[in-house]
């Protein structure tokens, strides 16, 4: 499973005294937070593979990072960039919704994260020994 992030810090400079990340810092901090859910996403994907051994493709999610709490919210699947089956996309959404960046930022973050899921190739047939 590979993943990439496109994240832009934008608008809403609040009156609170939270950190103000650069776009690069925002991207890196968000990437680290999302990486903490990689095992959970992998386990869920492995469960999907049991019922559908060829399940694979990409899942693109969009989300906000709230200013006061640093919480990832409003997670949605970008259907135009998602090729994996719905159960895989649901795994990703459930896993990342509610994650928190610490410390919170005074700028709202809007991000897109793309996961790439590759189903393992079928096992090769081995010749019978005679």
Q: What is the mean pLDDT of residues 110-129?
A: 80
What pLDDT shows up at residue 92? Answer: 95
**Global pTM value:** 0.76
Give the separation between CA 114 and CA 124, rounded to whole angstroms: 30
Q: What is the mean pLDDT of residues 62-78?
A: 93
For 20, which DSSP code?
Answer: -
Residues forming a β-bridge with 67: none
Write down the H helix ranges in the chain. 23-35, 38-51, 86-96
Least confident of 11-15, 65-69, 104-108: 11-15
Q: What is the mean pLDDT of residues 33-58?
A: 94
Q: What is the mean pLDDT of residues 87-105?
A: 92
């Amino acid at each position: 499973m590979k993943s990439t992030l496109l994240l832009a810090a934008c608008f809403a400079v609040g009156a609170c005294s939270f950190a103000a990340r650069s776009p690069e810092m925002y991207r890196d901090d968000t990437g680290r937070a999302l990486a903490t859910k990689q095992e959970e996403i992998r386990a869920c994907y492995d469960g999907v593979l049991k019922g559908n051994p060829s399940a694979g493709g990409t899942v693109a999610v969009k989300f906000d990072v709230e200013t006061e709490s640093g919480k990832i919210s409003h997670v949605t699947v970008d259907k135009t960039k998602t090729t994996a089956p719905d159960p895989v996309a649901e795994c990703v959404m459930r896993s990342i919704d509610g994650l928190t960046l610490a410390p919170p930022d005074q700028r709202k973050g809007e991000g897109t994260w793309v996961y790439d899921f590759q189903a393992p190739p079928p096992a090769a047939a081995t010749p019978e020994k005679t």
